[in-house]
Amino acid sequence: MSYTAKIGPSILNSDLACLGSECIQMLDCGADYLHLDVMDGHFVPNITFGHPVVECLRKQLGQGPFFDMHMMVSRPEQWVKPMAAAGANQYTFHLEATVNAGALIKDIRENGMKVGLAIKPGTTVEELGPWAGQIDMALVMTVEPGFGGQKFMEDMMPKVNWLRTQFPSLDIEVDGGVGPDTIHKCAEAGANMIVSGSAIMKSDDPRSVINLLRNVCVEAIQKRSLDR
């Protein structure tokens, strides 16, 4: 097994007027990466920010931080080059948003980014399966994408478990309603990349929340390797 526990605060839950300083605070508190939610008002009924904001963040934060772009957009093909130029590290698109995932995966790689592939709660994990060998990360949404602060959907955990069983070294991310109360279920199912919004950003002590989430994942990974 070659995967490790990584915690990525969802910066959509931050004070967007102070986005740069909030990102710096998250990284100082031990975040492994930053999860940036891009919404276009079509694929999901909300609008957030696009590549100009990403470019500004990259300039302010430097080359070090890993930007995981969660592209909740109806035409993911359109934004590959702009996001790569803006400094994105990973381009996570939705399987439901494209008719040619293979070509999109190739384009993302050719533009120097890692490939993430996301599925909404209503999409079966078996639909993602054929692409798992060509991607760096699978994202199992644990809420309906589009808004923060929703309730965690525990019935998505069998998808995570299926992916971990079928693809033991794949990075598997969960996103939506994940925090100290739900992390154990995610970690036990096999998730190793944890997106957490409100639980981290709204905490008085983000560092302790990030540490708790990571420690639970590390323990689950160690247990899984022993069980093998």
Annotated binding site for a divalent metal cation: which residue ranges? 35, 37, 70, 175
| Beta strand pairing call for 6-9 and 34-39 | unpaired
Tokens of 149: 């602060």
Phi-psi region of 70 (alpha: psi -120 to 50; beta: other; left: phi over 0): beta
**Catalytic residue positions?**
37, 175
DSSP conformation letters of 148-186:
SSPPP-GGGHHHHHHHHHH-TTSEEEEESS-STTTHHHH
H or E element at residue 117: strand 114-119
Are the C-beta atoms of 194 and 164 separated by less than 8 Å?
no
Annotated binding residues, as ranges? 10, 35, 37, 70, 146-149, 175, 177, 197-198
CA angle in degrees (0–180, nearest 5) for 83-84-86: 60
Rounded to whole angstroms, the Cα distance separating 87 from 178 reads 27
Please name the residues in contact with 167: beta carbons below 8 A apart, sequence gap of 6 or more: 132, 133, 138
Annotated binding residues for substrate, as ranges? 10, 70, 146-149, 177, 197-198
